[in-house]
Structure 1
Amino acid sequence: MSEGSAAVVSPVKAVIVPGNGGGNVESCIWYGWTKKRLDKIPHFKCLLRNMPDPFTARESIWLPFMESELQCDSKTIVIGHSSGAAAAMRFAETHQVFAIILVAAYTSDLGDENERESGYFNRPWQWEKIKSNCRHIIQFGSTDDPFLPWGEQEKVADNLSVELHKFSDRGHFQNTEFKDLLNVVKKLIPTPV
């Protein structure tokens, strides 16, 4: 590697961090569909694993798992859905990643005991640290999400100055396919000359 090319960083993998709720993530909503398509890209891989503590999704368990088991780093595109989006944002407060793609992201426990127990919402968000640790921040949100008020999603977009993909008909993004997400990830991966 020449001296001048040391600063060029390209993503080598994506990691999908699912929402809480349990179940086999490979067969859950768009997660497995997306993984199969990303794995077809040459010199790129996608990791999708069942997370420990899948129902409460505790930060104290998920963030160490993202670091040690999923090896999220400066060459990783972290795709977080719902609770996974909260995990991606908290992870990016203290770790450099290539990109975070936030799907159905929110900023508070929404008055829900399980969300409160997760630990993501017990302190202010470090927006500037997240921005400085990510080369790209992209967000997918929908105004008709039955679980997240638009104001919650908008607060993430405003504080992180994201590339926002705003919809009015996607709910909580629980479809079996997610072509818009796939296209966004593909744009982040440099094509060989």
Structure 2
Amino acid sequence: MKRIVIVPGNGGGDVETSNWYSWARDKFREEFDNVEVLLKDMPDPVIAREKFWIPFMHDELKCDENTVIIGHSSGAEAAKRYAERYQVLGVVLVSSCVTDMGDESEKESGYYNRPWEWDKMKTNTKWIVQFGSTDDPFLPWDEQQEVADQLSTELHKHTDRGHFMAPTFPELIKVVKKHLTV
């Protein structure tokens, strides 16, 4: 069975009430009868340390070669590091970057302490989609563009979505639906 796993950003608190996460989960469940959709509170939700998130994604969320991982912000960084190690069906990166940008909390997460293994990510996924916005208050566009360039993502570039923290995200549903019904 195919699975969609939504991995939230850090610091959002309860995933049920944060951003578009539960809205997207519910929309995906309406769209797909034969796809399991998972959204769970992550361990270590404030710092989002890789050493806790990657094992949780593997052991608890059961991400595998039939899984689409949708990662937002820190969740996008977790999705990339996960795809370096494991095969997944697809990855959707929302507000993804390449450095900690000098932020101590981001540095502590562990995602940025070594080079990104872009080729492994590409090898371990069938497709990679990216959503970014030039008006993101946390991520400069050049960080997001580097992700797109390194991974040859299907880039959905916006100018007015900030850090994608709205309560709905209709474009996400359309894009994932397109990839899962091909």
Global fold match (TM > 0.5)? yes
How many angstroms apart in 2 are the aligned matches of 1:104 and 1:64?
22
1:13 aligned onto 2:16: no
Report matched runs for 1:20-31 at 5 Å: 20-31=10-21
The count of residues paired between Structure 1 and Structure 2 equals 181
The gaps in structure 1 that reach 5 residues or longer are 1-10
Output the TM-score relative to the length of structure 1. 0.92
Aligned to 1:33: 23
Task: Provide the C-alpha distance between the structure 2 equivalents of 1:94 and 1:13, rounded to a whole number of angstroms.
Answer: 18
The Cα of 1:108 is off from its aligned counterpart by: 0.4
Look up the match of 1:113.
104
Equivalent residue, structure 2, for 1:183: 174
Equivalent of 1:167 in 148, 154, 158: 158
Long gaps (5+) in structure 2: none
TM-score by length of 2: 0.97
Q: 2:74 aligns with which of 75, 83, 107?
A: 83
Three-state SS of the structure 1 residue aligned to 2:131 is strand
1:3 equivalent in structure 2: none
Where in structure 1 do 4 or more consecutive aligned residues deviate above 2 Å? none
Using the alignment, how far apart are the partners of 1:146 and 1:69 within structure 2? 32
Q: State the 1:176 CA deviation.
A: 0.5
Percent of aligned positions that are identical: 55
Q: C-alpha deviations, 1:28-50, integer Å up to 9, x for none?
A: 11000000011121111210000
